[in-house]
Amino acid sequence: MQNSFTEENYLKIIHALSGRDGVEVSTNALAESTSTRAASVTDMLRKLADKGLIHYKKYQGVTLTDSGEKVAIKVIRKHRLWEVFLVEKLGFGWDEVHDIAEELEHIPSEVLVEKLDAFLGHPKFDPHGDPIPDAKGNLTEPDYLILTDVHVGEKVLMMGVLDHAPSFLQHLDRSGITLGSVLEVREINEYDKSASVQINGGPTLFISLEVSKNLLVQRR
């Protein structure tokens, strides 16, 4: 039996909310993420449990089964590969591709995914720095720091974003911050935790805590 568009979305969202430690996901959290009501979520959870895709005990929240995890990772692989295609081949901005990839990720056909992957040169990361699962379903989350964890004087590489909202990505564009940028923290304001950060050895910018919390970086 094939999984529906909707079922795939639930699995993907459970995967995201469950995190690497596979913590239980609540009905309300899913209602929020799927933009539906808790009652609708309960209906779907019963269905996904019947299909063996999630572990579900009433009132106890859900986690993915191995089978559900597999499906979720396939969808994530497709989503991220299509995002690479849209940015690298079609010339979209990284702020424009998420919604289109939300649709493309549900196109079936294993062979399509593998040919796309080859066409793109087997990329390891998507345009937002998120890792792309391999064909076998291995997904390894690199352990990046958040910019707020970086001390004054340290130089780090910008590796990804936590917030994928177009407005946030556009803000980074205007600040000249892209994947691979070198960020040196020059000063941290005691009062509001805003930071002065030098970008690629060039201009120094003020970065609010709100922005710092969403920047994934790596020591060099």
Partner DNA sequence: TAAAAAATTTAGACTAACCTAAAAATATAT
Partner DNA sequence: ATATATTTTTAGGTTAGTCTAAATTTTTTA
Considering only residues 114 to 173 of the shown chain, the ones binding its own copies according to CB under 8 A are: 115-116, 119
H-type alpha helices, 19-147: 27-34, 38-50, 66-84, 98-104, 110-119
What the block records as the tokens of 92 is 């979209």
Q: Measured from the CB of residue 90, what is the shortest distance to Mn ion in angstroms?
A: 15
How far is the C-alpha of 179 from the C-alpha of 129, rounded, in Å?
A: 7
How far is the C-alpha of 61 from the C-alpha of 58, rounded, in Å?
A: 7
Residue 104 binding: pick among Mn ion, its own copies, DNA, none (C-beta 5-8 Å cut-off by kind): its own copies
Q: Please report whether residue 107 would count as binding its own copies according to CB under 8 A.
A: yes
Q: What is the bridge-based pairing of β-strands 195-199 and 54-56?
A: unpaired
Q: Please report whether residue 67 would count as binding DNA according to CB under 7 A.
A: no
Size of the site for its own copies (CB under 8 A): 18
Considering only residues 13 to 52 of the shown chain, the ones binding DNA according to CB under 7 A are: 26-29, 34-47
Judged by DSSP in three states, 200 sits in coil
Q: Please report whether residue 111 would count as binding DNA according to CB under 7 A.
A: no
Binding site for DNA (CB under 7 A): 4-7, 26-29, 34-47, 56, 58-59, 61
